[in-house]
Amino acid sequence: MIGFCWVVILLVTFCVLAYQRASLVIWTCSYALLMIFLTKFHGLTTGTAITWIVFFAIFLLLDVGVWRRKFITRPLFNFYRNVMPSMSRTERQAISAGTVTWEGDLFRGNPDWKKLLSHEPAKLTAEEQAFLDGPVETLCRMLNDWDITHNRMDLPPEVWTFIKENGFFGLIIPKQYGGKQFSAYAHSQILIKVGGISITAGSSIAVPNSLGPAELLLHYGTEEQKNHYLPRLARGEDVPCFALTSPVAGSDAGAMTDNGIVCWGEYNGQKTLGIRLNFSKRYITLAPVATVIGLAFKLYDPDQLLGNKEDIGITCALIPRHTPGITIGRRHFPLNTAFQNGPIQGKNVFIPLDWIIGGKEKAGKGWGMLMECLAAGRAISLPASAVAGAKVLSYSAGAYARIRKQFNLPIGKFEGIEEPLARIAAYTFIMDAARTFATASIDCGEKPSVASAIVKYHVTELGRKIACDGMDIFGGKGICLGPKNFIGRGYEAAPIAITVEGANILTRNMIIFGQGVIRCHPYILPEMEAARISDPKEALKAFDKAVIKHVAFGISNFVRSLILGLTSSIIVQAPRGKMKRYYQQATRFCSAFAFISDVCMLIFGGSLKRKESISARLGDILSYLYLLSAVLKHFHDQGENMDDLPVVRYASLFCLFEIQERFDEIIKNFPNRIIAWMLKIIIFPLGERFSKPRDAIGHKVAQLLLAPTETRQRLASGAFLSAVPENVLADIQDALVKTIAADPIEKIIKTAKKDATISGYTAEEQAQSALEKNIISAEDFQLLMQAEEARKKVIAVDDFSNEELAGMIETHKDSLLKMAR
């Protein structure tokens, strides 16, 4: 019995030290003290002598560096070098790009929630707010999306002029060059306000301020290039585009065949060392109207005019539109949207060497430059576009469901409508929280490459889902295109954001975890760097330093996963308040994620990157942990409004359920069934306890959208909501307020009709009868008629005569022919 007690004590000590992630010194001292007490209690018996021998054998081997490296680290090092995956040059550049932010804390398995909540929240300066209230507001009032997308297939000339003259193309350009020098958050807010009205206008503003010439010039351009181009870009004198994608190289940009050959040529009548380019690009936004082209191509130097290297690598250059040999101007037609997008070709285009962005010193460094810029930009433009649509839906869908009646009830009273309404509200909160958190990190000087991939993928995917939910609620009004339809074009365009700046399938299956595990795991990158050191002794020392900590890290996460699973994480220290349990459960899943990631890397080795389904699910777990963190922080930064609690709880439960499901899918599809069974026991010792948000909480969330609540207003904050005649959202708000005000009067009339006190078939006739019999007052009647008029205006759809439709088709045909020319 005494022996059993000592075994329990040793195991408890092991678990406590592993859970607390104690250092090797503390492990050694702790077990040495236990051994001393054991010897004093039992005396020096055969059993205690054997225990001392085991103690010295283990801890001397671990604590004496020479012995540890010889007997433990060296075999591990040899194994590691055999399983370490090979990486192309573009893969290495992509992985090394950007910085690690909160996603790194999640990967460590024990996130510091105080650190998260103390992170500087996103905010606007007075100048940025004034720009939103002034030029951005004015621009929104100028936009007529039906005219843009159907009649013109382009922005009106006066809108292009307004955008250029008011500095919309210079949002990220420093003031010294005439730009606005706005924050990433302000950039995002501008795109949300404009994009909610017109995808065409939003995209036209996004591109010059995203991955393109201005961004590349700011970070890598020569002073001469900056001084020449940046003021012109800020004034709108030059319109930029950036050409990366080609017919044979989409997601795999490294496969591009666009090439440049270093050679001598003639420029401005003089013999000049330059580059002879041949290329074919497509899907290039703003290309048809661009005056300066950013071009990515592979540079070769067969005559070694620049050095002794022939294959120099991917390079970026700036090329004026009218350079001889360039064919540009034709347009693509992406899903009925009118933003300028088209192909560019170049044949024997000669450019001087100093047109390379950054000069010849940056030749061959283009891919790294692009990845560094994309690390931040990917979290801004496309997420903002998706959030814009989500805010419009969160503001309008519930109001429409309250205004629109079927079976003598507002359709929002039906559970079938409550379900998509709850998703719209919760997903909008998640999307807004994620893009706000990411842009705040960028404004703190970070370039969150993994976080930006998470945000881009999940925000655009959630946007696509709620676009479908919105169409289900609006029904026929949503599918009948015309001036009164404000969601149809957004629904059509939803897949566009899915395909660009890293197609979502690629982002999920290969980037989020594939890049995340190397950049965010505390020990993988140091181990990989050690394996590349040419000096064997130095390599072994560096690997030893990392791998011993890695082993301890893995043991700790194994213990933490099991203990937190058994205790349902109630022992985790977390911020106090209504959301405490969500912080605790997030910590539990962080430990489990770190543990299962190490198991997958150990079992699959270098082949893990080819196990795309498992890698994608691991990426999903990391993503939903990031989204859950963003939700908790967003709720905190907004002042923890108790009215928002149903939405925040729904969003948090959704994330936790999705995390649980991805763990379950990994375990069910794990090829080694014995290890799969062990993973199941360790991660879910009490079974899978999370479910989708219950109907009751969904009902509470839906109710918040069916009335002009503060929660609904916060969800839509940043959208164009001004009460002006051309704003459909203002009409919906007006109808909602009037409908709710008229509701008690309608109940009086309904009761009177049931009692046969009044007559009439239509609502107007019954109201008139109630007025005549003094059941309602003249003021009540007037209010009821106003509500009915507002309701009819909102639910109305467009209709056209055959002649009008024929004329529209001809107009559309002319626009397409114009595009083709």
Catalytic residues: 501
Two structure tokens written together for 375: 């690390």
Find all residues with CB under 8 Å of 466, minimum gap 6, and list them.
Answer: 389, 390, 393, 420, 423, 424, 427, 428
The pair of three-digit structure tokens given for residue 218, joined into one six-digit string: 């700011």
| Closest by CA position to 190, among listed 377, 386, 384 | 384
| Burial track 753-776 (b if 16+ CB lie within 10 A, e otherwise) | eeeeebeeeebeebbbbbbeeebb
Under 8 Å between Cβ of 353 and 273: yes
What is the token pair recorded at 92?
A: 């290495």
* Sign, Cα dihedral of 428, 430, 433, 434: negative
Phi (first) and psi of residue 300, to 5 degrees: -125, 150
Would you mind telling me the total number of residues written for the chain in this entry? 821
| Contact present, 735 and 403 (Cβ < 8 Å) | yes
- Give dist(CA 635, CA 632) in Å, integer: 5
d(CA 561, CA 588): 6
Q: Residue 550 CA to chain centroid, in angstroms?
A: 29
Tokens for 599?
Answer: 């198991």
Q: Say how far apart CA 767 and CA 61 lie, in whole Å.
A: 92
* Secondary structure letter of residue 208 according to DSSP: G
259 burial (CB, 10 Å; 0-12 / 13-18 / 19+) is: middle
Report the C-alpha gap between 739 and 64 in whole angstroms: 79
Nearest residue to 284 (alpha-carbon basis) of 199, 377, 203: 203
Q: Please state the φ and ψ torsions of residue 108, each to the nearest 5 degrees.
A: -75, -10
Question: How far apart, in whole angstroms, are the C-alpha atoms of residue 183 and residue 205?
Answer: 15
| Spatial distance between the Cα atoms of 592 and 613, rounded to a whole number of angstroms | 18
Would you give the DSSP letter of residue 118? Answer: H
Cα(523)–Cα(525) distance, rounded to whole angstroms?
A: 6
The angle at the Cα of 728, spanning 725 to 733, to the nearest 5 degrees, equals 95
Among 385, 663, 522, which Cα is nearest to 104's? 522
Q: At what angle do helices 695-705 and 645-668 cross, to 10 degrees?
A: 140
If one counts every other C-beta atom within 10 angstroms of the C-beta of residue 209, the result is 27
Would you give the end-to-end CA distance of the chain in angstroms? 91
Distance between CA atoms of residues 342 and 288, nearest Å: 6
Q: Report the 10 Å Cβ neighbour count for 717.
A: 14
User: Does residue 263 contact residue 303 with C-beta atoms inside 8 Å?
Assistant: yes
CA geometry: angle 185, 186, 192, nearest 5 deg: 90
Q: Which of 338, 432, 419 is nearest to 392 (CA)?
A: 432
Alpha carbon distance 666, 72 (integer Å): 30
Look at strands 270-285 and 341-352 and give their pairing: antiparallel
Place of tokens 């469901």: 401
Report whether 173 contacts 212 (CB < 8 A): no
- For 403, the 3-state DSSP assignment is helix
